[in-house]
Structure 1
Amino acid sequence: MAGESTGRGEPDRTLRLLWRAHLGEPTGSRGPKQRSSVDEVVNAAVQLADDEGIDAVSMRRIADRLGLKPMSVYTYVPGKAELIDLMVDQVAGERSLPPLEGTLRERLTRIARLQWNEFVQHPWLLSIDTSRPPLGPNVSDHWEWCLRAIDGLGLSDLDMDRVINLLLGYVGGPAGAYVDAERLHASSDETDLEWWERNAPLLDEIMDAARYPVSGRVGQAAGEAYQSASDPADAFEFGLARVIDGIEGYIAASGRPGATSTAAS
């Protein structure tokens, strides 16, 4: 279960902070004369979350990184609820959104891989509940970009929302498995192959081939292919292709043209 959620801050203050580039930088009403900026506070929070996880993010830790007094951080951001929204929106804008070119499959693949890269670079995003997404400029631009990738295919507006949510929702599973595997590799001197070899003698004794004929055969094939119990990156690519197969099939079965059509950038 996610430990942090977006959309918990006071709406007016949060939206004004998210859209500060359009509305103007908020001015603090208390504390010492400002020595930093909202952007610097958010940057410090993102870096802290990247280094140590979202649970490490606190106003005091951010103040330490910026050389500020803890209470002065509140002159930039009212609290952690608003800060989480700002962090999510900021990382959503780190990568430029590529042109929406190519077939439907190519466009959907591009969307999914951009989301994958965001999760891998900022693993703490996987622990954030975005049921109420931060409606900032970067999140809004990203959502518009995703929807435009499937606009004009004959899908209803509701189905467009469903298709993009299906695609983005899928990415989190294999991305989480990949991040977990990378953490394990970073914390252990033992490779996956060495782990399997160490466990193999006892497994040969307790895994009766007559009781587990199918899993034994499949496990051997997977182990030889991956040199590990699994390969999250491979699982992502395989699953993504099947998800897109389903989306294309849904459009075709509904009699809607354009399942493999190209779109203008």
Structure 2
Amino acid sequence: MRPGPRRSLTHPEILDAAFELLETKGFDAVSVRGVAGALGLTPTAMYTYYPNKQALLAGMVEQVLGRLHGVDPTTTDAADAGAPAPALEPRDRVQALASALRDLLVERPGAVGLLLATPLDGPNAARMDEDLLTAFTDAGLDLASAGRAAHAVRVHVLGAVAFDAADAVREADAAREAEVAPDPAAGSASAAASDTLWDDLESFPLSGRSRDLDDDPAGRFAWGLDRLLDGLLAGSGPAAR
């Protein structure tokens, strides 16, 4: 029996299905055909919404960055209660925007690859850049320096989330391996290989100790952002502080 016509889909529904593919099967699985299959559509029907993969990826980027809209870094919680909200200083605005972007990407770490592989030329991406540029120029930087500073902040956010996500994957893999009862023969071979690979580990004592001392991704991110802004805004005047 031939199924009846499927109801029209919304863009958020399509993009949610695309993100589900991204997080479960990886970047290469995200395509117009792949999303169509996940939603029970024909590829032809999907082309009505997104004519090609690049358009689909751009839509996914815009959905992520669109969640920054409404996160106004110039207001505080007082605005929610109807009280006048004091404007934040430029540095605080950058910190609020960078932290909000990190929070979004922590929820969807696969989006880091999207932001690196897709031109950030949509309206939500432009709004994010405009907010960063405005904050840095308000802090006293010229436009060229503000552009470089905005780029440095984006790199810090994306890099921090990417490294933290990789650490989380390694920890999850290690936890799964620990749950499997080891084969004695395999364990012996594994130990031998480990001895061969890491027999010089005591030559790097600080590396192991530093990892043990810093297991707070959010705190590490905030510390790095503070130090980055210290350098970017050094000598730019009182408005930067």
TM-score, scaled relative to structure 1: 0.66
Q: 1:163 aligns to what?
A: 149
Q: 1:173 aligns to what?
A: 159
C-alpha deviation, 1:176, in angstroms: 0.9
* In 2, Cα distance between equivalents of 1:162 and 1:179: 26
What SS is found at the alignment partner of 2:229?
Answer: helix
Contact 1:174 1:236 in 2 (8 A): yes
Q: 1:80 aligns to what?
A: 53
The structure 2 residue matched to 1:114, chosen from 75, 91, 100, is 100
Tell me if 1:57 matches 2:30. Answer: yes
Tell me if 1:123 matches 2:139. Answer: no
Contact 1:93 1:138 in 2 (8 A): yes
C-alpha deviation, 1:223, in angstroms: 4.7
* In 2, Cα distance between equivalents of 1:235 and 1:121: 17
Q: 1:154 aligns to what?
A: 140
C-alpha deviation, 1:243, in angstroms: 0.3
What SS is found at the alignment partner of 1:128?
Answer: helix
Residues 237, 257 of structure 1: alpha-carbon distance in 2 compared, 3 angstrom cutoff: closer
Residues 141, 224 of structure 1: alpha-carbon distance in 2 compared, 3 angstrom cutoff: closer
Larger RCO (alpha carbons 8 Å, 6+ apart) = 1
* In 2, Cα distance between equivalents of 1:34 and 1:135: 31
C-alpha deviation, 1:246, in angstroms: 0.3
* In 1, Cα distance between equivalents of 2:217 and 2:121: 31
* In 1, Cα distance between equivalents of 2:28 and 2:117: 19
User: Residue deviations 1:26-68, cap 9 Å, x none?
Assistant: xxxxxx9973244432332123223332222122321223221
Contact 2:90 2:138 in 1 (8 A): no
C-alpha deviation, 1:180, in angstroms: 0.7
* In 2, Cα distance between equivalents of 1:238 and 1:223: 15
What SS is found at the alignment partner of 2:9?
Answer: coil
* In 1, Cα distance between equivalents of 2:55 and 2:48: 13
What SS is found at the alignment partner of 1:85?
Answer: helix
**2:213 counterpart letter in structure 1:** A
Cα RMSD, aligned residues only? 3.3
C-alpha deviation, 1:89, in angstroms: 0.8
Tell me if 1:97 matches 2:71. Answer: yes
* In 1, Cα distance between equivalents of 2:24 and 2:158: 20
48-57 or 163-172, larger mean C-alpha shift:
48-57
C-alpha deviation, 1:129, in angstroms: 5.7
* In 1, Cα distance between equivalents of 2:97 and 2:176: 35
The structure 2 residue matched to 1:187, chosen from 173, 177, 181, is 173
* In 2, Cα distance between equivalents of 1:89 and 1:129: 10
Give aligned-pair identity as a percent. 27
C-alpha deviation, 1:123, in angstroms: 1.7
**1:109 counterpart letter in structure 2:** Q
Number of aligned pairs?
210
Q: Which runs of 5+ in 2 are unaligned?
A: 75-86, 179-190
Higher helix share: 2
* In 2, Cα distance between equivalents of 1:169 and 1:69: 38
Residues 143, 202 of structure 1: alpha-carbon distance in 2 compared, 3 angstrom cutoff: same
The structure 2 residue matched to 1:247, chosen from 232, 235, 238, is 232
Structure 1 residue ranges (4+ consecutive) displaced by more than 6 angstroms after TM superposition: none
* In 2, Cα distance between equivalents of 1:93 and 1:186: 30
Q: Which runs of 5+ in 1 are unaligned?
A: 1-31, 193-198, 261-265
